[in-house]
Structure 1
Amino acid sequence: MQTSPTVRPMTPDTVWPARGRHAPGSAEDVLRRSLQQRKDSRDIDDFLELPDDETAPAERVFQARWRVGDDVTVRARLSLRPGPGDGDGQEWLLVAEAEQPWDHAWPSPVDLFWAEDPGDAWDQDADSRLALGKINFLPQDDREIRRLLRSAVRGGWHIHVVVHEAMTTDDRGRTPVAQWLPPGLRHRVVEHHAAPQQLRGLNWALRESGVEVPRGGAVVLPGVPAPEGYDAGDFSVRAVFLDGSEPADLVDAVTRFAALPRPLPDGAEDALTALREDWHLLTLQEELDRQRGLVAMYAEALEAMTKSRDLYREAAESAHEALAVYQEAARAAPAAPPAPGPPAVSPLQQLTRTFERFKVKRPAAPAGDQERNDSGDTPSTDEQRVTSEP
């Protein structure tokens, strides 16, 4: 059985998702005309087309609101975008959410957005181009069957049912199973039919899905990813009588499969977020409650700012008081003793230093006298006198 490589959030039990393709043409005009007719007939309470500056480029968004059951409000959002290529028409994605868990007996949101006009081809699968709620015959080539079913079950948008026709049937046997399903499931089912000789190739193509179609029976494919609690035996029907009577076992299998918890389809998470957070179609009471909520939010923000300002002021006052106390304590403290200087000089040391400054050094003798003194021939005084006399 195939598994998804990524983990997606589960689909809330209050949410109804759908996705499809509208054939080339003015789908916006079809939606405007259909929604206005639904509003005039009071099938819906109101609808709104968002302006261009509120949507993504090349996207049109319609919002609608209605009530079901015991006055349960349903809000729905349908976005419309061009197809991936020229001439591919427009792809639509619809997400509806109720105030209570969804009941499949309620009207299908698709029926409330799109007009029931055979000329408006909006009921096609966006990827495979297969019809929603109608019978689609499998191609003849086995590889094409495998490729078709492999790609069709990806994304998790639709419930795929494969029926094997044990023998060639007439128009009575070509009644789609969607006709017997509750309104909330009719546009979420893609029904595939295999010819009598295609059973072997069909089961070969389904081998990687871990399921098998009984001869003359049917099976509900698990999809990718498979829902929690899916068991091929529980959703396999041994015999489907194609005589125009209600296939009760197959209807039961499809209904039980739709009740299994399943991840949100690819792309539905963003659409659900936009539905919840970017809702514009408000009643007068809702608008009043919204404005009251904004006033309460602004009041809380102002109160928080006021508290922050008071706390800042108290902290500043406390800092000033602490500084004043510190300054007062500094003025009241005794003066610090002078720092110790160099040791005092005694009078005797001072007198000794004075004499050392005035002491005269003995001059050095001339070089000649020094030599005579060294030889010991220095004349006596009398000799000097006799020599000096004439």
Structure 2
Amino acid sequence: MTPATVWLARGRHAEGAAEDVLRRSLEQRKRSRAIDDFLELPEAETEGASEAAAPAERVFQARWRVDETVTVRARIGVTPGPDGGQEWMLVAEAEQPWNDDWPSPAGLFWPEGPDVAWDRDGVAELSLREVNPLPHDDKETRRLFRNAVRGGWHIHVVVHEAMTTDERGRVPVARWLPSGLRHRVVEHRAAPQQHRGLNWALRDLGVQVPRGGAVVLPGNPAPDGYEAEDFSVRAVFLDGSEPTDLVDAVTRYAALPRPLPDGAEDALTALREDWHLLTLQEELERQRGLVAMYAEALEAMTKSRDLYREAAERAHEALAAYQESAEAAPVRQRPSDTPVASPLQQLTRTFERFKGRTQRPVAPSRDEH
């Protein structure tokens, strides 16, 4: 299961050098003190540091504090993707259970401006920050939902427009979500005439969208405790006002226990076991721990050497005592008048006794008389 302290996201960066974008963004965040520090791992180091780092992966680590005292450590890995783009995977872990009111780690690594296209769902090419209109073809919509919910990385919300909306109604629901959820939600929009085809496409997922309403999709696999009616909203007013019921449904869904998404376990292991961005205090504690470990190893080696020496001395003493007792013991001699038979003679006598028994005459039975 996904630990309560962990925040996860993944996506796709459009053409261009994503590492340059990350480097500039993190430098700006550090200057503004949004983060405490960041580190770009050398490429050669990321290749051999852990199994989670693929040969072409570029890794950045960053740390910051929330609620003044809670430290967050985060890692983003960028790898080449299809069509010249780059796939990214971000995992962050706090010292306490994650609070969705904390800043989004994706918003701290990536720039918020619309001119940088880093916010694409790598599986279905969907936006993480804008509304995604559904395809006109129902079969294509069905395939879209099947692929979108696979893997468990994002929360997918489907909204049906009861009537054609204006500019105010096209504002994504993510605008009203807590900061920690804004880059984890993908919003799908169905036009008024698509309601029947929409529910046909959703049959495989076991959910339906009310006319003019919305539903949070279960994902694949569905999290424990998911019931379709609990995450279905009967009416969503797309007039620019906050969709309170929908925000509540998304927030409750995000709080459900869920298994780690595909590929997240390796990234989380790399974050925990291959962390390089240490403070001076952490580095001092690390060195002290190494010194203590070496001292314990040296003590164990010394103790083993002393035990071996003691055992060897006792063995020598036992051998010397045995030799002394053997020399002091009287030697018993066989009387000179007692003949000693050779092994050949003993064998010959045994054979003769056996031969004599086999040649002994057999007494006739009474029946012969």
Which interval holds the TM-score relative to the shorter structure?
A: 0.7 to 0.9
Give the equivalent residue in structure 1 for 2:358: none
| C-alpha distance after superposition, 1:133-188 (max 9, x if no partner) | 32101111111111100010111110000111111111111111100001000000
Bigger mean CA deviation after superposition, 332-341 or 313-322: 332-341
Amino acid aligned to 2:311: A
State the structure with more CA Rg: 1
Aligned match of 1:98 in 86, 94, 99?
94
Aligned match of 1:19 in 10, 13, 26?
10
Give the equivalent residue in structure 2 for 1:287: 283
Separation of aligned partners in 1, 2:18 and 2:46: 17
Amino acid aligned to 2:63: R
How does 1:68-217 map onto structure 2 within 5 Å? 68-83=66-81, 85=82, 87-217=83-213
Please state whether the residue corresponding to 1:335 is helix, strand or coil: coil
How does 1:305-344 map onto structure 2 within 5 Å? 305-338=301-334, 341-342=339-340
Amino acid aligned to 1:42: R
Give the equivalent residue in structure 2 for 1:234: 230
Give the equivalent residue in structure 2 for 1:32: 23
Please state whether the residue corresponding to 2:157 is helix, strand or coil: strand
Amino acid aligned to 1:24: E
Separation of aligned partners in 2, 1:124 and 1:96: 19
| C-alpha distance after superposition, 1:9-42 (max 9, x if no partner) | x111110011000000121111111100011111
**Residue 276 (structure 1) aligned with residue 272 (structure 2):** yes
Whether the 8 Å CA contact 1:133–1:188 is kept in 2: the answer is no
Aligned-residue RMSD, C-alpha: 1.2
Bigger mean CA deviation after superposition, 202-211 or 224-233: 202-211
**Structure 1 position 312, deviation (Å):** 1.4
**Residue 41 (structure 1) aligned with residue 32 (structure 2):** yes
Q: Report the TM-score, using the length of structure 1 for normalisation.
A: 0.83
Structure 1 unaligned residues grouped into runs of 5+ = 1-9, 344-390
Please state whether the residue corresponding to 2:68 is helix, strand or coil: coil
Separation of aligned partners in 2, 1:216 and 1:272: 40
**Structure 1 position 337, deviation (Å):** 2.1
Whether the 8 Å CA contact 1:131–1:190 is kept in 2: the answer is yes
**Residue 52 (structure 1) aligned with residue 43 (structure 2):** yes
Identical counterparts, % of pairs: 78
Give the equivalent residue in structure 2 for 1:63: 61
Separation of aligned partners in 1, 2:36 and 2:319: 69
**Residue 260 (structure 1) aligned with residue 256 (structure 2):** yes
Whether the 8 Å CA contact 1:80–1:90 is kept in 2: the answer is yes
**Structure 1 position 94, deviation (Å):** 0.5
Runs of 4+ more than 6 Å apart: none
Aligned match of 1:300 in 296, 299, 302?
296
Separation of aligned partners in 2, 1:201 and 1:321: 94
Give the equivalent residue in structure 1 for 2:220: 224
Q: Report the TM-score, using the length of structure 2 for normalisation.
A: 0.88
| C-alpha distance after superposition, 1:63-105 (max 9, x if no partner) | 111111131111100111100x3x2410111000111111111
Structure 2 unaligned residues grouped into runs of 5+ = 48-54, 342-369
Number of residues paired by the alignment?
A: 332
**Structure 1 position 318, deviation (Å):** 2.0
